[in-house]
Amino acid sequence: MRLTILGGGGFRVPLVFRAVSGDGADPAALGVDELVLYDVSAERLGVIGAVLEELRVPCSPRVRTTTDLTDAVRGADFVFSAIRVGGLAGRVCDERVAMAHGVIGQETTGAGGVCYGLRTVPTAVRVAETVAEHAPSAWVINFTNPAGMVTEAMRRSLGERVIGICDSPVGLFRRVARALEIDPADAVFDYAGLNHLGWLRAVYVDGADRLPELLADGPLLRRIEEGRLFGPEWLRTLGAIPNEYLWYWYFRTDALAAELTSRETRGEFLREQQEAFYAAAAKDPTTAYAAWEATRRQREETYMADSRELTGSGERDPYDLDGGGYDAVALAVMRAVARDEPSDLVLNVANRGTLPFLDDEAVVEVPCRIDAGGPRPRPVGRLDLHAQGLVTSMKAVERTTVEAALTGSRELAVRALATHPLVGAVPVARAVLDDQLAAVPELAAVIRRD
């Protein structure tokens, strides 16, 4: 079985390689015998290739690298799309430009998410078309952010063959299960929304909802990240635990203040960290693996550091640092499909009536049962009016962003930004777009300046 990773020179690729290599006990574990890494940068491919050689075990797949997209996808059984259009320089602009105009500066949430989507969608659609033409039976697992809107755009050519993933809901489930001292495999998590905009409303074990027990216990709640981030009182008010990205919505003023007082943004931190890693590893490939491991650790430890600092959350739970993020979700999807092993996972898929206030084609993030036939959303409880409102607003923003990206319309790009509730003002939208167009060539290539 051939797995192709687009963004194959990316930092998290060794995690995927490790996962497909299995633990050595069962060589046929997943049956991936060839891994094709595609990237626009041959240097990054070289560095990641060197890390993989250090991680190689007897049942690891053979690895081939390429900078040709068609060559990469032809004959693939699975394609992981994990690209970052505009690189970390683009991420820094998403953050800094928004902040300069007084709104949240974050890669997927707020103005930054719209700008990131605008420059990414045309490339993602080209990827989808290339896969549809050269590997029509392949499954595409989309990691590329903003994952919800990118997956919806890719569905135009790939239909049910593209599945969007995120590690955030499963991370929340793991933490909640640990606090409740239950095995996540024994629980049904009632979670629903859009990517980075969802709520956990119930946790059923043997038919009984255990979430109220957790919500009632402040000290217990404070043992999980979301409890510290939102505070037990707010979680009780909501009667649910929101995805961590809803911090930027519910604590918008604090989040912005934290961003503005922080010496550097997350993008700036990562840009420096990643540049140093790739440069050092390219210079001396024998050190590539050790450098990667140290860099990865530091990246995990500092995830969402601004919010943790502001809320006095302290360091991340050691359990969250190795817990299995994107690689684990992607591998679980692949295993379920390739081996026809039914599995329950939260995925970004077409709505098909799951959230009745959205149309069937809307990509939503909901629990799915997945097997060789692909994912099918499972029934979830009704979202309350507040959540329906946010989800509906954001679906409109996503669709306007996709249309703007595919038509090059400046007018639609302004509309997407101005109607985003975290931007919420036409002059801010125009100013953000102008500054972005001046600073980000990948965006200027998409949106007309007239």
- In a 3-state reduction of DSSP, which class is residue 189? strand
| Token pair for 409 | 């319309």
Residue type, 249: W
Alpha-carbon distance of 202 to 149, in angstroms, equals 26
H-helix segments, 81-199: 87-100, 111-134, 147-158, 168-180
Please, which residue, 6 or 166, has the CB nearer to ligand G6P? Answer: 166
If contact means CB under 5 to 8 A according to the sort of partner, which of ligand G6P, Mn ion, none does residue 114 touch? none
- 8 A C-beta contact, residue 115 and residue 432: yes
If contact means CB under 5 to 8 A according to the sort of partner, which of ligand G6P, Mn ion, none does residue 266 touch? ligand G6P
Candidates 87, 303, 328, 410: give the one binding ligand G6P (CB under 6 A).
Answer: 303
Alpha-carbon distance of 308 to 305, in angstroms, equals 5
Please, which residue, 96 or 210, has the CB nearer to ligand G6P? Answer: 96
| Token pair for 279 | 């440069």
Q: Which of 273, 303, 302, 277 is nearest to 292 (CA)?
A: 277
Residue 131's contacts (CB-CB under 8 Å, 6 or more residues apart) are 73, 76, 79, 138, 140, 157, 158, 161
Please, which residue, 164 or 232, has the CB nearer to ligand G6P? Answer: 164
Alpha-carbon distance of 108 to 381, in angstroms, equals 26
Shortest reach from residue 84's CB to Mn ion, in Å: 13
| Token pair for 245 | 């990205």
Under rule CB under 6 A, residue 299 binds ligand G6P = yes
Site for Mn ion in 147-176 (CB under 5 A): 166, 168
If contact means CB under 5 to 8 A according to the sort of partner, which of Mn ion, ligand G6P, none does residue 101 touch? none
Under rule CB under 6 A, residue 200 binds ligand G6P = no
Site for Mn ion in 295-314 (CB under 5 A): none
Under rule CB under 5 A, residue 37 binds Mn ion = no
Under rule CB under 6 A, residue 166 binds ligand G6P = yes
If contact means CB under 5 to 8 A according to the sort of partner, which of ligand G6P, Mn ion, none does residue 303 touch? ligand G6P
Q: Which of 333, 266, 347 is nearest to 301 (CA)?
A: 266
Please, which residue, 99 or 447, has the CB nearer to ligand G6P? Answer: 99
State the number of binding residues for Mn ion (CB under 5 A). Answer: 2
Please, which residue, 232 or 325, has the CB nearer to ligand G6P? Answer: 325
If contact means CB under 5 to 8 A according to the sort of partner, which of ligand G6P, Mn ion, none does residue 299 touch? ligand G6P
Shortest reach from residue 239's CB to ligand G6P, in Å: 24
Neighbours of 403 (CB within 10 A): 16
Please, which residue, 76 or 230, has the CB nearer to ligand G6P? Answer: 230
Q: Which stretch binds ligand G6P (CB under 6 A): 50-58, 162-170, 198-206, 223-231?
A: 162-170
Shortest reach from residue 278's CB to ligand G6P, in Å: 15
Shortest reach from residue 146's CB to ligand G6P, in Å: 8
- 8 A C-beta contact, residue 361 and residue 351: yes
Site for ligand G6P in 241-280 (CB under 6 A): 266, 270
Q: Which stretch binds ligand G6P (CB under 6 A): 116-124, 153-161, 163-171, 386-394?
A: 163-171
Shortest reach from residue 91's CB to ligand G6P, in Å: 8
User: Which residues are bridge partners to 367 per DSSP?
Assistant: 346
If contact means CB under 5 to 8 A according to the sort of partner, which of Mn ion, ligand G6P, none does residue 177 touch? none
User: Which residues are bridge partners to 141 per DSSP?
Assistant: 80, 163
Shortest reach from residue 196's CB to Mn ion, in Å: 6
- In a 3-state reduction of DSSP, which class is residue 30? coil
Shortest reach from residue 30's CB to Mn ion, in Å: 23
H/E stretch holding 211 reads: helix 211-216
Under rule CB under 6 A, residue 167 binds ligand G6P = yes
Please, which residue, 250 or 303, has the CB nearer to ligand G6P? Answer: 303
Length of the chain, in residues = 450
What character string, x for contact with ligand G6P (CB under 6 A) and - otherwise, covers 126-155?
A: -------------------x----------
Shortest reach from residue 145's CB to ligand G6P, in Å: 5
Which of 358-397 are b and which e, b meaning 16 or more Cβ less than 10 Å from the residue's Cβ? Answer: beeebbbbbbbbbeeebbebeebeebeeebbebbbebbeb
Q: Which of 394, 437, 447, 449 is nearest to 149 (CA)?
A: 394
| Token pair for 444 | 């200027």
Q: Give the number of C-alpha atoms closer than 13 A to the C-alpha of residue 175, restricted to the C-beta side.
A: 27
Site for Mn ion in 48-77 (CB under 5 A): none
Neighbours of 274 (CB within 10 A): 17
Residues near Mn ion (CB under 5 A) are 166, 168
Residues near ligand G6P (CB under 6 A) are 145, 166-168, 266, 270, 299, 303, 325
